[in-house]
Amino acid sequence: MEEAKRYTKDGKVADYIPELGNANPDDLSIAINYPDGRCISAGDIDKNITLQSISKVITLALVLMERGFRYVFERVGMEPTGDPFNSIAKLETMAPAKPLNPMINAGALVVTHMLKGDSVEDRFNRLLGFIRELAGGPSVGFSEKVARSEFESAHLNRALCYFLKQHNIITEDVEILLDLYTKQCAVEMNCLDLARIGMIFAMDGVDPLNGKRIMPEDVARICKTFMVTCGMYNASGEFAIKIGIPAKSGVSGGIMGAVPGKFGIGIFGPALDEKGNSVAGLKLLELLSKNYRLSMF
């Protein structure tokens, strides 16, 4: 922590969602959750983080369970892009205009579109219930303020939705989809909860404390694979070489890691690099991976 904390100065908090601009760039915290229930942590662990893009991997897990692999992968691909997370470029140059993977915004919007339910409330409540089950407690909440702030400023995501709608990849009203997507991104928790979710992925979808299977093994495996190939956007290749842990980042500065068969990691450090990943969080993971030989490669 002490070594990594120095790197918070090298980043900037995201402010394209105005409410996220209020975060303290000096914050840094980490929690590690083991399958036997032990949890170790350091730093500002009481601070809450909105999931932002970390929610993409969790929504994908629920949608794979609700719709099945075939339905989902007919609508979203499996390949990394090498482009920024909110890029529209590949949608136009690839045919058909199916997003390349579920971790970029275009793909995540399609995944959220596939969430079953009769209303935004119904769909969001089921997702929140699933997230609470993964986190193992009711402490997981949702920031209305962050959701509204993103909803009112999400012009690029609106553009992605309209493009996808033009090509019949999504069919619902764009404002309804954005309402649900921005709520999903504003689900809020601390890094202890985040570490516990990472642990469930690390343990192939089973809660080891009570033996309950929360998601099928194949769903956990697919999610972890996307975390390796696309979890850190256009920094995923470098991340795999330097760190080698399935992980997913978000612009709030969160990173969820899942060390297969070992433990889950939750990090919060809102100062970001130019690709939207937590600068000190990445440093922390790099040190952990090197010191404890955590790379899966």
Q: Catalytic positions, please?
A: 53, 56, 181, 233, 251
User: Shortest Cβ contact with ligand DON: which residue?
Assistant: 53
- Sign of the CA dihedral 75, 78, 79, 83? positive
Please say whether the beta carbons of 62 and 114 come within 8 A.
no
- Torsion of Cα atoms, 278 then 282 then 285 then 289, to 10°: 160
SS3 content of the chain, % helix, strand, coil (to 5): 50, 15, 35
List 53, 87, 143, 234, residue binding ligand DON (CB under 6 A)? 53
CB of 210 to ligand DON, least distance (A): 31
| Residue 111 phi, psi (nearest 5) | -65, -45
**Mask of contacts with ligand DON, 71-90, x by CB under 6 A?**
--------------xx----
In this structure, how many other beta carbons lie within 10 angstroms of the beta carbon of residue 34? 16
Smallest separation, CB 182 to ligand DON (Å): 7
In the bound state with ligand DON, the residue whose beta carbon lies nearer, of 81 and 204, is 81
- Whole-number Cα distances in Å, 134 to 30, 62, 63, 208: 18, 11, 15, 12
205 and 220 in contact (C-beta within 8 Å)? yes
Chain positions 152 to 211 lying near ligand DON, rule: CB under 6 A, are 157, 185
Widest CA span of the chain, in angstroms?
A: 50
HSE toward the beta carbon, residue 134, CA cutoff 13 A: 30
Q: Hey, what amino acid is at 239? A: F
Least distance CB 53 / ligand DON (angstroms): 3
Binding mask 223-262 toward ligand DON (x if CB under 6 A, else -) reads --------------------------xxx-----------
Interacting residue with ligand DON among 29, 59, 101, 105 (CB under 6 A): 105
For the bound state, the minimum distance from the C-beta of residue 281 to ligand DON, rounded and expressed in Å, comes to 11
- Out of 25, 253, 276, 281, point to the residue binding ligand DON (CB under 6 A): 276
33 binds ligand DON (CB under 6 A): no
Rounded to the nearest whole angstrom, what is the least distance from the CB of residue 51 to ligand DON in the complex? 8
Given a contact cutoff of 8 angstroms between Cβ atoms, the answer to whether 114 and 42 are in contact is no
- For ligand DON, the closer of residues 33 and 86 by Cβ is 86
Binding site for ligand DON (CB under 6 A): 52-53, 85-86, 105, 150, 157, 185, 249-251, 276
